[in-house]
Amino acid sequence: MYETAVTVVGNVATDVVLRQLQDGIPVASFGVVSNPSRFDTKTQSWVDGNKLFVWVSGWRRLANGAAASLKKGDPVIVTGKLRVDQYEKDGEKRTLVKVDASAIGPNLAFCTAEARRDGTGDIAPFLRAVDLEKISDDQLPPALSAIAG
């Protein structure tokens, strides 16, 4: 029916585990912790908010890319579909927040990365056709600041 799309910005909190399902489809799973902070003007210091822990799963090529690229502690951005599982353990009700990822990447505000193609895809045809040397300044779209005015 309706799906809730989310983006979580945080750090990889667990080892990335890559496994294959019986039909051979790879899936990578790992935890992400997001710890918001705000500046408290009274104390003139940063104060941590409540931590959010989500369990992330990525499938197929995304699984392989995540497993090859990420390790515990890495700053990461994950977007996907939100799922909430409720279960009982030792007589206690628990909730696990999950994200079925559609995209996973490093948070470049806190690290650098080098993108390498995995050989499974080519550059999209519309990108191959762009020759920046032949585009003059008058053909480029205006800067956002000029539009927003």
CATH number of the domain encompassing residue 17: 2.40.50.140
Q: Roughly how many angstroms between the first and final C-alpha of the chain, as a whole number?
A: 40
* Confidence tier at 36 by pLDDT (50, 70, 90): confident
**pTM (2 d.p.):** 0.74
Paired with 98 in beta bridges are: 55, 83
pLDDT given for residue 128 in this prediction:
60
The CA R_g of the chain, rounded to the nearest whole Å, is: 20
- Lowest mean pLDDT across 36-40, 84-88, 122-126, 143-147: 143-147
Distance, C-alpha 50 to centroid of its chain: 20
In a domain, 133, yes or no: no
State the Cα–Cα distance between residues 82 and 25, nearest whole angstrom.
21
Spatial distance between the Cα atoms of 111 and 33, rounded to a whole number of angstroms: 17
pLDDT (0 to 100) of residue 115: 81
Phi, psi values for residue 128, rounded to 5°: -65, -30
Number of residues in the chain: 149
Q: Is residue 103 part of a domain?
A: yes
For residue range 97-142, list pLDDT tens digits in order: 999 999 999 999 899 888 877 666 566 666 666 666 666 555 556 6
Please tell me the distance from the alpha carbon of residue 12 to that of residue 75, in angstroms, as a whole number.
7
Q: Looking at the domain assignment, is residue 22 inside a domain?
A: yes
For residue 72, tell me if it sits in a domain. Answer: yes
Residue 148 lies in a domain: no
- Whole-angstrom distance, CA of residue 106 vs CA of residue 39: 25
Question: pLDDT per residue over 47-57, tens digit each?
Answer: 999 999 999 99
Q: Could you list the residue range(s) of the whole structural domain that residue 105 is in? A: 5-110
* Total domain count, the chain: 1
Which amino acid is residue 8, in one-letter code?
Answer: V
101 inside domain: yes
d(CA 16, CA 63): 9
Amino acid type, 1:
M
Return the H-helix or E-strand segment holding 57: strand 52-59
**Alpha helices by DSSP H, 2-138:** 61-69, 125-128
Residue position matching structure tokens 């806190």: 110
Predicted local distance difference test score (pLDDT) of residue 45 = 92
